[in-house]
Amino acid sequence: MLRHLLIISPAGTVLYDREFVKLIAQPRLTGSLITAILKVCSDVTGLPASYVEIGAVAVSIRTDAGRTGIICALFHDVQDGKQLGQLVATELLRLFLDRFRQHVSPPPVNLGIFQSFHSKILEGIRSSVRLVVDELQRCVPSIELCFLASNGRISHSTVDIDGVGVMANLSALREYAEELMAARGDTCNRIVLERVANRVVIHAIGPMLLVVVMPRIVPLLEVQGQITAAVSLIARVSELSQHMQGSTHTILSL
């Protein structure tokens, strides 16, 4: 569960903070603490700090490698894991800079201009699954293509493809597989299609589908571990976004 989000300037000024669960009494002072941790870690190890655990709370830290040096510090439960925290922090930092890059160097006197970022947080959590798909393709060179489909369309693909044609066939295939498994009193979580030259692996993750295409000559066992890990991470991101959406609705109704 997310607890607090801070966007911090290189000098330690908190440009934006969003509280999800009461945790930080003085977020403005925490910005200086985060920058101090980053400096000490860099001086001692030569590497930036990216993840810190304090009891049951973890802090995932991402820093813009460009000229802004803006820092995203995401406080969350330790049980969420480093991977999930880093993933969401990376995407939230990207969205923040996409929207406010021209306003952060130097920071404005009126920090209120950053408050509109509230509306982008849920989008950032959801879109972070794209990073999982890209990382799967990068880590497994034998994969020819992988994409994520949701709500009848391709939400992200590592290669440009005909989305309309693919989704028509994919939807029909999933419907047939679900009917077949339902007749046996079971559910369909994975489909593997063996073609002449390649293999198509389809994983159902709630309403989403992760589709991976690879040469048939590559043994499935060699890559199944990485695919399963990606499926698990996407499922956790989906669960987090659903929780955050429910929290947002609760806040709006108060």
Label residue 115 left, alpha or beta by phi (over 0 means left) and psi (-120 to 50 means alpha): alpha
Q: What is the mean pLDDT of residues 184-198?
A: 88
Q: What is the mean pLDDT of residues 122-140?
A: 94
Helix, strand and coil percent figures for the chain, each rounded to 5? 50, 25, 25
**Domains in the chain, start-ordered, CATH in brackets?**
2-120 (3.30.450.70), 130-253 (3.30.450.30)
pLDDT 10s digits, 10-29: 999 999 999 988 777 777 88
d(CA 231, CA 209): 9
pLDDT 10s digits, 69-100: 999 999 999 999 999 999 999 999 999 999 99
Q: Over 50: is that where the pLDDT of 7 sits?
A: yes
Phi, psi of 189 (to 5 degrees): -110, -25
Q: Over 50: is that where the pLDDT of 42 sits?
A: yes
Q: How far is C-alpha 181 from the geometric centre of its chain's CA atoms?
A: 31
Task: Write out the H or E segment, with its range, that includes residue 212.
Answer: strand 208-215
Q: Over 80: is that where the pLDDT of 43 sits?
A: yes
Range name among 162-171, 194-203, 205-214, 218-227 with the lowest pLDDT average: 162-171
pLDDT at residue 90, rounded to an integer: 96
pLDDT 10s digits, 211-233: 999 999 999 999 999 999 999 99
pLDDT grade for 246, boundaries at 50, 70 and 90: low
Q: Over 80: is that where the pLDDT of 145 sits?
A: yes
pLDDT grade for 199, boundaries at 50, 70 and 90: very high
pLDDT at residue 217, rounded to an integer: 94
pLDDT at residue 247, rounded to an integer: 61
Q: What is the mean pLDDT of residues 239-247?
A: 81
Q: What is the 3-class SS of 107-129, one letter each residue? A: CCCCHHHHHHHHHHHHHHHHHCH
Handedness of CA 99, 103, 106, 109 (dihedral sign): negative
